[in-house]
Homo-oligomer: A and B are copies of this chain.
Amino acid sequence: TSTYRITLLPGDGIGPEIMAVAVDVLKTVGGQMDLAFEFEEALIGGAAIDATGEPLPEETLKTCKASDAVLLAAIGGYKWDTLPRHQRPETGLLGLRSGLELFANLRPATILPQLIDASSLKREVVEGVDIMVVRELTGGIYFGSPKGVFETETGEKRGVNTMAYTDREIDRIGKVAFETAQKRKGQLCSVDKANVLEVSQLWRDRITALSADYPDVALTHMYVDNAAMQLIRWPKQFDTIVTGNLFGDILSDAAAMLTGSIGMLPSASLGASGPGVYEPVHGSAPDIAGQDKANPLAQVLSAAMMLRYALDQPAAADRIEQAVTTVLDQGYRTGDIMSETMTQVGCKAMGEALLNAL
């Protein structure tokens, strides 16, 4: 029996509900495949603020670091939106990313044949879309200094954030992106705003230089405004996209929404060493929290991604992904992906359907 230590971070809103389903699924698959999981739950986000006053208690980071992988659900909610910045749920998430040095965020946007009609785009535009956004996650304007609100000489207030990248930070994420593209269709589109920003010019220059080491990858460059347009116009032109933290935040969400079913999309955040964090692309949906309405499938697919990439258990991952396909084929749908003639179920019932399928 292989034993894995998994830190669970259920967080806020629908987090605990969807996490419960993913844990049940992991336990079942573990039993079938002779894998043992030691789950340790830790606090993050609003839940941590309520319990300890801080969005990322020291203890949580320690637990994460001592584990083989971290499964996160979602953080945040209206309740904590007015707290000072260092006490907000988001600050906990950013702290987790920098604390574990999770510089590479992999966000797939794929569309399941069963859910094509959930997209707001025409079928022929989205059918077969399969995009991987590689987002830099510990640099750029999210972490650059100086930052803050300062008083100017003329007594005005001036809000400031700094978008900065070093060549080393760019090379590091660039390598992950080229290697990701190699395992996919071999097409990498680097997105920046090099026609206006110096930091983007450095980005473009370094990515271009790196490409010499990856002759099997076809590299293109695109400005971020054009990338937003092209994702909408004809998303199938993209295979792998690499970009900075802020542009990646925007474009990965846009790419996810093209599929019409962000309740289905997992993601991975990886560092050079140490455990990665696996989490759904969607948020904590406080408006439907505790009502047994949430879609647990992105959380379940995040667990599959964790099995595949962190724990090197592709067969177990396959099994979970197959179970998701099965329940969709059986017609089970939560409210967010519901369509005519399908069977609407809640979060728990979807979980049971998954266990049956397994």
Asked whether A257 lies within 8 Å of B228 as measured between CB atoms, the reply is yes
Q: Is A85 an interface residue (CB 8 A)?
A: yes
For the complex, what is the distance from the CA of A125 to the CA of B228, rounded to whole Å? 18
Asked whether A201 lies within 8 Å of B253 as measured between CB atoms, the reply is no
Q: Is A319 an interface residue (CB 8 A)?
A: no
Residues of B within 8 A of A168 (CB): 156
Given contacts A148-B198, A198-B85, contact A166 B162 (CB under 8 A): no
Q: Is A62 an interface residue (CB 8 A)?
A: no
The interface on chain A, measured as residues whose beta carbon lies within 8 A of the other chain's beta carbons, has a size of: 60
Residues of B within 8 A of A125 (CB): 120
For the complex, what is the distance from the CA of A226 to the CA of B76, rounded to whole Å? 14
Asked whether B195 lies within 8 Å of A88 as measured between CB atoms, the reply is yes
Q: Which of A94, A120, A203, A256 has the most CB of B within 10 A?
A: A120
Residues of B within 8 A of A144 (CB): 160
For the complex, what is the distance from the CA of A142 to the CA of B193, rounded to whole Å? 10
Q: Is A229 an interface residue (CB 8 A)?
A: yes
Q: Is A292 an interface residue (CB 8 A)?
A: no
For the complex, what is the distance from the CA of A171 to the CA of B138, rounded to whole Å? 32
For the complex, what is the distance from the CA of A249 to the CA of B196, rounded to whole Å? 11
Asked whether B233 lies within 8 Å of A254 as measured between CB atoms, the reply is no
Q: With both chains docked as a complex, state the minimum distance between the C-beta of A161 and any C-beta of chain B, in angstroms.
A: 5
Residues of B within 8 A of A358 (CB): none
In the complex, which of the residues B88, B253, B258 contacts A226, with contact meaning CB atoms closer than 8 Å?
A: B253
Q: Is A357 an interface residue (CB 8 A)?
A: no
Asked whether A225 lies within 8 Å of B253 as measured between CB atoms, the reply is yes
A164-205 CB mask vs B (1 if < 8 Å, else 0) is 111110000000000000000000000001011111111100
Q: With both chains docked as a complex, state the minimum distance between the C-beta of A98 and any C-beta of chain B, in angstroms.
A: 13
Asked whether B161 lies within 8 Å of A166 as measured between CB atoms, the reply is no
Asked whether A225 lies within 8 Å of B201 as measured between CB atoms, the reply is no
Q: Is A224 an interface residue (CB 8 A)?
A: yes
Asked whether B246 lies within 8 Å of A232 as measured between CB atoms, the reply is no
Residues of B within 8 A of A200 (CB): 159, 161
Q: With both chains docked as a complex, state the minimum distance between the C-beta of A224 and any C-beta of chain B, in angstroms.
A: 6
Q: Is A115 an interface residue (CB 8 A)?
A: no
A255-274 CB mask vs B (1 if < 8 Å, else 0) is 01110101000000000000
Asked whether A233 lies within 8 Å of B195 as measured between CB atoms, the reply is no
Q: Can you name 6 extra interface pairs (CB under 8 A) apart from A159-B197, A161-B199, A233-B260? A: A76-B195, A152-B166, A193-B249, A225-B250, A228-B253, A228-B257
For the complex, what is the distance from the CA of A256 to the CA of B232, rounded to whole Å? 10
Q: Is A121 an interface residue (CB 8 A)?
A: yes
Interface residues of A in 237-292 (CB under 8 A from B): 246, 249-254, 256-258, 260, 262
**A94 to chain B: closest residue by CB:** B196
Q: Is A79 an interface residue (CB 8 A)?
A: no
Asked whether A159 lies within 8 Å of B165 as measured between CB atoms, the reply is yes
